[in-house]
Amino acid sequence: MEDKTYKTLKGELNSAFSDEYIKNAGLLIYQMADNFYHEQNLEQKAYFDDSIFEYCLIDILVDIARLRHFHDIELVNYIKLMAYTASWCLKRKPFQLLPGGSAEDIYVNEKFALSLLLQASGCFDANVKCAKKDEEKVEKLVEQIFYHLKYRNTNPQTLELLLVGMESGKLLLKTECP
C-alpha cells in the first residue's frame, strides 16, 4: 500500500515540477535548516532527521502543486513557500531531540519555523535596523509569534497571513501619515 502511495505522490510531483525544481527546493530548505542547526548550537542537543525531512519536503511540494493547479498559476511566491515549509516542519518535526536534552530545547522545531518566517519577512536581513525605542516592541512581537507557533493553529494560511501582515506593516511605516 505504501509503495503504491509513494508512486502516486512521485507521479504527482513529477507532473508538477522538474527534477531540478524539486532538488533546488529541497536544497534551499535543507540549507536553511543546516544554518539554523549551527547558529543555535544544536550539536549536542538535537539532530536533523533526513527521513522526516524527505516526507516534509514531499508534503510541501504536493501542497504547492495542488495550490498551483487550483489557482492555475505557474509559480508560487516566496511567502507561500515559506508558510507551507514552516507549517509542515511544525507538523513533521524534522529536528529531533537527543537523549538528555533540556526542557528549553523542546520547541526546536517551533524555533526553526520562527526563523523561517522571520527570514521570509526580511527580519533577518543584516541591513534591517530597529530604533532603540522599538526594540522592546519587536522582541514582544517575536515572542507572540513564537507563542502562536507553539500553541495555536499553524496551518499555511495563518502563517501566510502573518507574513503578509508583516509586509503590510513595513509599507505602512514607509508612508508618511498626515
Average pLDDT score over residue span 145-170:
89
pLDDT score at 26: 94
Share of the chain above pLDDT 90, in %: 53
pLDDT in tens, 25-63: 999 999 999 999 999 999 999 999 999 999 999 999 999
> Would you say 89 and 109 are in contact if contact means Cβ atoms under 8 Å apart?
yes
Per-domain residue ranges for the chain? 2-174
> Half-sphere exposure (CA, 13 Å, Cβ side) for 98?
7
> Half-sphere exposure (CA, 13 Å, Cβ side) for 75?
5
pLDDT in tens, 91-127: 999 999 999 878 889 999 999 999 999 988 876 555 5
Residue linked to cell 537527543: 98
Average pLDDT score over residue span 139-165:
92
Amino acid in position 19: D
